[in-house]
Amino acid sequence: MSNDKKPDFSDVQSAVKSTEQVKPDFSDVQSKVTSTEAIAGDAVGELTYTVEKGDNLSNIAKHFYGKQDWKRIFDANRDQLSDPDRIQPGQVLKIPARED
């Protein structure tokens, strides 16, 4: 039994659409970053600070305490500091809580 009739695809349609021409709109995107580091640090009475190039203990102390009480920071970090003038960028220093 032979069927000589061929399938008819004359009414089949296709389309391809690309989003490449359409630029995404990010104008309403908002971002917010929060950290719990200060909260956790306050809970145990101690913060940390990562030393940046140009920092010294006096300036770090002034930032956290409002005065150049560098010795408190030096004493809290004697496990990694042997000389208050030799702090290195990238070091993470413990910052004792303020004594008001």
pLDDT of residue 60: 93
27-40: pLDDT as tens digits: 888 877 776 665 54
Looking at per-residue pLDDT, the higher value among 16 and 70 belongs to 70
Helix or strand run (H / E) with residue 93: strand 92-96
Domain 46-90 annotated CATH 3.40.50: no
Is 69 in contact with 61 (CB distance < 8 Å)? Answer: yes
Rounded to two decimals, what is the model's pTM? Answer: 0.54
79-95: pLDDT as tens digits: 999 999 999 999 999 99
For the beta carbon of residue 97, count every other beta carbon within 10 angstroms. 14
**Domain boundaries, given as residue ranges, for the chain:** 46-90
d(CA 27, CA 37): 30
* CA distances to 25, 26, 27 from 30, in Å: 12, 9, 9
